[in-house]
């Protein structure tokens, strides 16, 4: 073999190696991070704006097994809480600690994954005699979202982590200490024969109020007794108030919902709980059934009266509701919609950790859809947004956020995460700004081998323009194999600052910025 041929082979091999390393960097988002620390200083490249003060608090899965047993799905990893503190003087710190939930504590004690309900199965599977216990214990690992509720009696905020379950966990955000679980009493009362477990990881603020709304799905265990849906007002982390309740033939699974000044709107896809399968398999995914040929149901609940309007529409699985507002006699509601719930299969850890399996996995990105609901005519019109030749992925995103000052009212801009932006690789990710008012303000930002998660919008004080603000999101730098916090200009989507972190941050689900929390 000649020298030139050897050199050519080495070059080809080196290129393949670099490509493989780049592709494999994405899997770092789904590896364990057991680091725990408080207030480690971090340093941004450029000086921070003087008005930026507060804390970005996020949560997500950070450990994917215990002992000889492992989770098989990313959504099930033991939850961790992160806090980036901006002190208002140009300095910043970063903290992280595990949510000390019962499932986390017991799992650590027994050196095995404890018996609680999971999204998908564990490996090796629980024996049959442990599966029913898991279902009865319900979801305990609240690793999806972070909220705070104002307790008027105590005149203080209560910070909680949530998942799509009724139970929440309270924590102290500056120290990230877990205070304990909260399983609020059902405001409709206790009825034998129902399992009251499913709720929402995305409470929505009530208009002109310190309260929030959520919902509760009560699954009937008694033949010929119908399941129930309830809209609930969250008055504090402990106190719940019933707004409306009605019977349903089947109990739908829902992740998020919408609120306007006068209405709460639930979108119930034809995706229903099968309690027999849930008991058999001891995981949520196998215990849910999809009926693609059936219609979806939109429930519009009048907040003042509790009256419920029921409207049928085309089926599809709504991942996240963006925002809703009232326009004369119509409700305008924007939702990121998947064709079906099968998209969640790509978040199985075996797939996420393999470049080949990620590339070959069947995944159709979500699409932003607008629902115009006419209550007078009891009908709904579904529309999509015009394509963009510069950013062909601009309408296919999830994990939306908005300027929260425009919650419940007409708005123009949605920010989100577009996966599979090149229509080939699931890990090819862009951060997008979608203009839903049609004023040609679509924009996006992406870097190859950099992997962001969802963003949070922080408005610039005293600004009168909706998109005058900054966006914060954690990003994995696949080249350096390090995480950093990225700051984007919300108007142009141009990067304006970043700070590398002392620890690699796995995939985080959601979070919020609290401007008065240090």
Annotated binding site: 202, 255, 320, 510
**What count of Cα atoms within 13 Å lies in the side-chain half-sphere of residue 221?**
10
Specify the 3-state DSSP secondary structure of 8.
helix
Q: Which residue has the tokens 């104002």?
A: 150
The binding site for Fe cation consists of: 202, 255, 320, 510
Q: Are 199 and 213 in contact (CB under 8 A)?
A: no
How many angstroms separate the CA atoms of 166 and 173, rounded? 21
How many angstroms separate the CA atoms of 77 and 287, rounded? 19
Terminal C-alpha separation, the chain: 66
Query: What does residue 239 show for φ and ψ, rounded to 5 degrees?
Result: -100, 125
Compute, in degrees rounded to 10, the torsion defined by CA atoms 448, 497, 508, 156. -170
How many angstroms separate the CA atoms of 252 and 218, rounded? 10
How many angstroms separate the CA atoms of 221 and 71, rounded? 28
How many angstroms separate the CA atoms of 225 and 247, rounded? 9
Query: What does residue 145 show for φ and ψ, rounded to 5 degrees?
Result: -150, 165
Q: Which residues contact 395 (CB under 8 A, 6 or more apart)?
A: 367, 368, 384, 385, 387, 388, 434
How many angstroms separate the CA atoms of 287 and 140, rounded? 17
How many angstroms separate the CA atoms of 242 and 261, rounded? 17
Q: Are 443 and 492 in contact (CB under 8 A)?
A: yes
Give the count of beta carbons closer than 10 Å to the beta carbon of residue 246.
Answer: 15
Question: What order do you get walking across the sheet with 398-401 strand by strand?
Answer: 398-401, 413-418, 430-435, 443-445
How many angstroms separate the CA atoms of 175 and 167, rounded? 22
How many angstroms separate the CA atoms of 12 and 18, rounded? 10
Dihedral sign computed on CA atoms, order 275, 280, 286, 291: negative
């Amino acid at each position: 073999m000649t020298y030139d041929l050897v050199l050519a082979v080495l070059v080809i091999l080196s290129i393949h190696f670099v490509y493989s390393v780049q592709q494999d960097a994405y899997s770092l988002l789904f590896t364990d991070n057991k680091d725990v620390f408080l207030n480690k200083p971090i340093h941004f490249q450029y000086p921070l704006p003087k008005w930026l003060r507060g804390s970005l608090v996020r949560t997500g899965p950070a450990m994917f097994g215990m002992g000889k047993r492992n989770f098989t799905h990313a959504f099930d990893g033991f939850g961790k809480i992160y806090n980036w503190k901006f002190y208002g003087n140009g300095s910043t710190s970063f903290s992280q600690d595990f949510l000390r939930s019962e499932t986390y504590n017991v799992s650590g004690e027994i050196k095995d994954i404890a018996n609680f309900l999971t999204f998908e199965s564990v490996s090796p599977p629980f024996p049959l005699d442990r599966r029913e216990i898991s279902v009865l214990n319900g979801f305990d690992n609240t690793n999806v979202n972070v909220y705070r509720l104002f307790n008027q009696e105590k005149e203080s905020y209560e910070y909680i982590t949530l998942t799509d379950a009724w139970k929440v966990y309270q924590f102290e955000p500056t120290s990230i200490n877990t205070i304990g679980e909260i399983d609020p009493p059902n405001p409709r009362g206790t009825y034998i024969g129902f399992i009251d477990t499913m709720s929402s990881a995305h409470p929505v603020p009530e208009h002109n109020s310190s309260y929030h709304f959520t919902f509760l799905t009560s699954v009937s265990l008694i033949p010929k007794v119908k399941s129930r849906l309830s809209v609930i007002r969250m008055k504090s982390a402990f106190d719940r108030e019933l707004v409306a309740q009605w019977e349903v033939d089947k109990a739908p699974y829902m992740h998020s919902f919408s609120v306007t000044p006068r209405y709460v709107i639930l979108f119930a896809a034809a995706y229903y709980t099968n309690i027999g399968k849930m008991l058999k398999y001891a995981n949520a995914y196998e215990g849910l059934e999809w009926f693609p040929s059936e219609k979806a149901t939109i429930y519009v609940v009048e907040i003042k009266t509790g009256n419920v309007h029921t409207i049928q529409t085309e089926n599809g699985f709504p991942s996240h509701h963006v925002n809703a507002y009232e326009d004369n006699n119509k409700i305008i509601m924007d939702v990121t919609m998947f064709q079906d719930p099968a998209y969640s299969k790509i978040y199985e850890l075996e797939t996420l950790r393999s470049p080949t399996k990620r590339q070959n996995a069947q995944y159709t990105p979500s699409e932003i859809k607008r629902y115009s609901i006419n209550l007078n005519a009891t009908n709904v019109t579904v529309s999509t947004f015009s394509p963009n030749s510069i950013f062909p992925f601009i309408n296919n995103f999830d994990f939306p956020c908005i300027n929260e000052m425009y919650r419940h009212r007409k708005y123009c801009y949605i920010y989100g995460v577009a996966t599979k932006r090149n229509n080939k690789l699931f890990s090819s990710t862009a951060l997008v700004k979608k203009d839903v008012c049609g004023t040609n303000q679509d924009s996006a930002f992406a870097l190859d081998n950099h992997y962001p998660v969802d963003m949070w919008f922080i408005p610039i004080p005293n600004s009168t323009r909706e998109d005058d603000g900054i966006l914060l999101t954690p990003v994995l730098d696949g080249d350096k194999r390090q995480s950093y916090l990225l700051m984007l200009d919300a108007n142009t989507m141009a990067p304006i600052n970043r700070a590398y972190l002392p620890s690699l941050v796995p995939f985080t689900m959601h979070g919020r910025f609290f401007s008065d929390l240090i």
